[in-house]
Structure 1
Amino acid sequence: MTKPIADLHCHPSFKPANNHEINDIWSYKRNPCTKLMFKGVLGVSVRRILVNLFVKDLATYTQSNLDSCHEGENRLLFLSIYPIERQFIKPDRPFQSASFTQRIILGKVFGIGLKKHLDSKIFQVLTGFSEAKVTNYLESAHESRCIDYFDTDLACEYQYLNDSHNTQSPNIEGANQPSFKLVSNYEEYVALANQNIIAGIVTIEGMHALGKYRSDDLFGDKLIDGLSESNQTELKTNFILNVSRLKNKAEFKYTPFFITFAHHFNNLLTGHAKSFGEAKNKAIPGFSNVFNQKSGLDFGISSFGKVLIKKHLLSRTNGQRILIDTKHMSLEARNDYFDIVKSLRAEGDQVPIVVSHTAINGIPTRARAAKQPDTNQLDKNSYISRWDINITDQDITEVFDSNGIIGVCMHDGRMPGGKFKALMKSYKRRLSNPESLKRLHTQMFLTNIFHIVKVNLNHIRAYNTCNEANPILEIDAWKTICLGSDNDGIVDPFDHFNKSSHLSDFKNRVIKGIDLNFDPVWRNFKILSIQEDSYSVFTEKELQDLMCGQTSEEICDKIFSDNVQEFLSNYFTKAYLEEGIIQDI
């Protein structure tokens, strides 16, 4: 029997909660078409051509609508609620970081002034939101003195998910008609086994979601500890109150399992990593020219942020524990958080590190990664992206030691280095033969997977050398890996695996990619061994060593299902979340 696929990070409610034209969480819908939004004169629109430069690689359609999940055998979804950051809706006019030519293009696309009607069209195309919703967000970003993400945005999307609970697909009839149910703990999830049900676990992306900000502070350049005393007190009070509200079962029956502490922009609590791509050349701008991420970039966790983590989110005295997702954290913030986790573990409190949707960068340590700026030049001769938003080998071992979990994404914007991008561009020209591009993306995913295993296995063997009486099983090198697609997160997905309906096919191709790795038909798509400044092909002996005696099917069951199930059995139980009791691990 095929095991159901689990996805540690996706956004099924993001578009429908923000667009009344999307009937429900089940149904597929495309974003507004640029041809209709920018009609031009006699059907010719320069602006449309330029906007298409920004959106051509993005998923401008629903990816994880529940019908799509059902088709792709995706039965366990970690439902990430994301209140869209107002900095994301307020481009960095007058685009001073761009070249002269880029500024001309950006002026044509976004306008140099505050032309909100133009922003509305662009952001409808980018997000799939309705015009009314986008207009509300624009007014909030440009005119409001206070931005309350919790009551305005988070509560709305949560309510949408809650209203979708216990619904059935309106598009599938008969015995095969699936249902959707939210679950608040592992015990509720297990009770749904072997039924035609898609289970959902609520999570949140971005700690800004719990904030009520003064606009001047939100768009400023300080963390919370640098604000005036009165503004600090006001913001701190709201964060603490909103954590308590999330843990109040009368208000939020489905308390989020984890929260991504950082995101794209300064939330005043912690530093974030650079996530927007650089311009490819001096003529065509990149997302980093449009959106300013500099405020808070690369900072550590503020002193209040550490208190909020230890005394409120991870605490059980104020309700069930909410875990922390380290995706988007800066290197320094990860240093700070991992220190917290290690100190708690020394006290007997097991806190697993979650990285919900990420990729490897092949760099040994965070200190080494901090010495290299995130630029196109850094990635130019690399197969994978070296940017520090991706995880170092040190991060991988920290997750292992915490008994945590890593969701590997499927993301052309986050994973590839220059070498991969060149190959991808070459294969995309061969439109009549998409098979090579499918194999290339399978290779990228497997290269990430086997690198994590290699790092874990070396870590285990080093430990066992010094602890012969109590060794760690080598097969445990596989236990921290799962899928974190980031579907519907405004991403650039793998071209032919760009929706949840493709996940079952992708899993089968990953199995095939392992089995055929040394077959001549697969010679250009072998799994690669990543070193800090180079890469090579794994030998058959090396690959067999990393597989630890498992078949390709057993490996893929771990990645796409079993590891998440095991993680939930330890950390999503009522006993752990409320009392700190876990089974032996």
Structure 2
Amino acid sequence: MNKPIGDLHCHPSFKPCNNPDISDIWTYKKNIHPKDLFKGILGVSPRRWMVNLFVKDLATYTQSNLDSCYEGDNRLLFLSIYPIERQFLRPDRPFASSTFVQRFILAQVFGIELKRHIDSRIIQILTGFSSTKVVDYLKSVYDSEYVDYFKTDFSLEYKYINQSHLSCSPNAEDNVATFQLVSNYEEYAALRNQNIIAGILTVEGAHALGEYNSKDLVGDKMIDDLSEENKEKLKASFIRNISALKDKEQFEFTPFFITFAHHFNNLLTGHAKSFGEAKNKSMPGFSNVFNQKNGLDLGISDFGKQLIKSHLLSRHNGQRILIDTKHMSLQARNDYAAIVKALRDEGDAMPIVISHTAINGISTRAKAAERLDTNQLDKKSYVSRWDINITDEDIREVFDSNGIIGVCMHDGRMPGGKFKDLLKSYKKRWPQKEFISKLHTQMFLTNVFHIVKVNLDHIRTLNAQIPIEENRIPEVQAWKTICLGSDNDGIVDPFDNFNTASTLKDFKTRVKNAIDMNFDPLWKRFKILDIKEENYRFFNENEITELKLGLTSEEIVDRIFSDNIETFLSTYFVRAYLEGTEN
């Protein structure tokens, strides 16, 4: 239980890199409040109130600043560099897909008059960026012919993180920890037992590597469908920038993996719907404000496949960069699974990474594709059934590839309607912190035990085909693919009482205690749930014992919060694997 915590996906540099008011990567900072940001603007009172409603569930403060990480025993960070997508800065005016009442509300919040002036303030609230930085971004949205994410956004955040390398906290007298980036597992292992917060670079969104014509970013085409001139220029930018990333003279710390898709069309691959629907016909949701329809649910483009196989995964042009399938559409995951299978058939060990996700309890991607991502789909479910969450098929493929799954802590994407109703009820009737904490711990463990159950069933199916007992897969390996992927500082709706990295040590302890107390009468409302394709129920005691596979609760939480990431790194973050020099 004293092992340091690893987090497969977080964004410590996202806010401070874009806001000079945040002094450094260590320091906690709250975003400016809507009531202060909208002073002096026409219609301030209704707009301020409406904006507050719109953002009230988001974490409008730093979550993974390094002082918070240190306090929460978070000592291994996968720092995800995220160039904010320009579509995220461009509300979908005139909000044609919304109801009349929703359009009226959105017109008040995102008024046509003073359009950029209003947008800049709302973006500041959502992101924690400074007003100067937001104005610069808006200029690139409306006034620039090209958006060069790599040169302007990625390189800026990379430089910020690199300048934070070997820094110490300026705030706490007893915190003498140093932040240190590492290039491989060998460097990380050398830091063990030292007072170090280790950092491994990753990237969220393949758009980070491209130079786009601005008009193409808001169109509905994929890269292979662009004009010949725009297509060739964009393709060349991706190839050029990947080569630069793998050149140690230009970038000392090559990212370990890249989340290939994200919220919007990057012209390379289809994405899954990630923005919530409106809760009712009056109050709009994120999906009413930002248009994700272009590229939604498509597969990986021909050039996207080429980029993955011949440039990112290739070791002929430098260190391999793995692919993270989070945010990929169902079809894109099908396409990538085929790429991984072909590589494995050739003897190339290729792990599937899903850095920050949750389960949907659906057996296959084909079945998931039969349903639309709506509130109605989730209404009677404990977990969200949306495509962005992983099916049992995804879980099995990660296991077969010796990959890893980061389970997130996200009230926006994890829960179905039943959980949301329970949470609302507890906040109203029993607002004590303890009840809500138990409910979120239950959600996390329900995800964890579902993954283990799918893995165990899969292992037993595979072992039934292996006649020699000593060649069979040990069943305890059902626990090997799970870790934490918080998505802290990723513009998220976090668990109420576990909303910064400073709470992770407490959360880890609560997860252990929840396993121990699962069948205690005091825990009867918060027992771990068995998620079925169409319903759910509580696991019984024999089932939980079977799924624990002889592990103690302490051994289980060590695997989730520490050991599995360490094992994964010791296999795929070593020089020999990254550079292709294995014997």
TM-score, normalised via structure 1 length = 0.98
Q: Deviations over 1:65-101 (max 9, x none)?
A: 0000000000000000000000000010000011000
Match of 1:573 in 2: 574
CA distance in 2, matches of 1:115, 1:42: 12
Shift of 1:523: 0.3
Q: Letter of the 1:72 partner, please give it.
A: G
Preserved contact between residue 349 and residue 580 of structure 1 (Cα < 8 Å): no
Residues 82-161 of structure 1: pairs in structure 2 closer than 5 A:
82-112=82-112, 115-161=115-161
- Could you say what secondary structure the match of 2:338 adopts? helix
Residues 88-487 of structure 1: pairs in structure 2 closer than 5 A:
88-112=88-112, 115-174=115-174, 176-430=175-429, 432-469=431-468, 470-487=471-488
CA distance in 2, matches of 1:500, 1:414: 19
CA distance in 2, matches of 1:10, 1:522: 31
CA distance in 2, matches of 1:217, 1:33: 34
- Could you say what secondary structure the match of 1:498 adopts? coil
Shift of 1:10: 0.1
Q: Letter of the 1:333 partner, please give it.
A: A
User: Structure 1 422/432 Cα, relative in aligned 2: closer, same or farther at 3 Å?
Assistant: closer
Match of 2:26 in 1: 26
Q: Letter of the 2:14 partner, please give it.
A: F
Q: Letter of the 1:282 partner, please give it.
A: K
CA distance in 2, matches of 1:413, 1:83: 21
TM-score, normalised via structure 2 length = 0.98
Shift of 1:42: 12
Shift of 1:232: 1.1
CA distance in 1, matches of 2:220, 2:71: 45
CA distance in 1, matches of 2:467, 2:38: 68
CA distance in 1, matches of 2:12, 2:428: 32
Shift of 1:281: 0.3
User: Structure 1 151/431 Cα, relative in aligned 2: closer, same or farther at 3 Å?
Assistant: farther
Shift of 1:4: 0.2
Shift of 1:581: 2.5
Match of 2:556 in 1: 555
Q: Letter of the 2:436 partner, please give it.
A: L
Q: Deviations over 1:91-118 (max 9, x none)?
A: 1000001100000110110113671011
Shift of 1:335: 0.2
Shift of 1:43: 11
Match of 2:56 in 1: 56
Q: Which runs of 5+ in 2 are unaligned?
A: none
Q: Deviations over 1:29-60 (max 9, x none)?
A: 00011110123699971001100111100000
Shift of 1:134: 0.3
Match of 1:14 in 2: 14
CA distance in 1, matches of 2:303, 2:62: 37
Percent identical among aligned pairs is 70
Preserved contact between residue 93 and residue 113 of structure 1 (Cα < 8 Å): no
Shift of 1:342: 0.4
Match of 1:492 in 2: 493
Q: Deviations over 1:108-154 (max 9, x none)?
A: 10113671011011111111000000000111111111000000000
Residues 35-74 of structure 1: pairs in structure 2 closer than 5 A:
35-39=35-39, 45-74=45-74
Q: Letter of the 1:211 partner, please give it.
A: G
Q: Deviations over 1:426-465 (max 9, x none)?
A: 1111465121100000000000000000000000000001
Count matched residues.
Answer: 581
Q: Letter of the 1:212 partner, please give it.
A: E
CA distance in 2, matches of 1:431, 1:313: 50
CA distance in 2, matches of 1:60, 1:222: 34
Match of 1:507 in 2: 508
- Could you say what secondary structure the match of 1:28 adopts? coil
CA distance in 2, matches of 1:311, 1:430: 57
CA distance in 2, matches of 1:535, 1:17: 43
Shift of 1:286: 0.4
Match of 2:542 in 1: 541
- Could you say what secondary structure the match of 2:359 adopts? coil
CA distance in 2, matches of 1:372, 1:292: 20
Q: Letter of the 1:483 partner, please give it.
A: L
User: Structure 1 98/488 Cα, relative in aligned 2: closer, same or farther at 3 Å?
Assistant: same
CA distance in 2, matches of 1:302, 1:261: 12
CA distance in 1, matches of 2:533, 2:144: 47
User: Structure 1 496/576 Cα, relative in aligned 2: closer, same or farther at 3 Å?
Assistant: same
Shift of 1:515: 0.3
Q: Letter of the 1:360 partner, please give it.
A: I
Preserved contact between residue 40 and residue 46 of structure 1 (Cα < 8 Å): no
- Could you say what secondary structure the match of 2:530 adopts? strand
User: Structure 1 563/420 Cα, relative in aligned 2: closer, same or farther at 3 Å?
Assistant: same
User: Structure 1 431/158 Cα, relative in aligned 2: closer, same or farther at 3 Å?
Assistant: farther
- Could you say what secondary structure the match of 1:95 adopts? coil
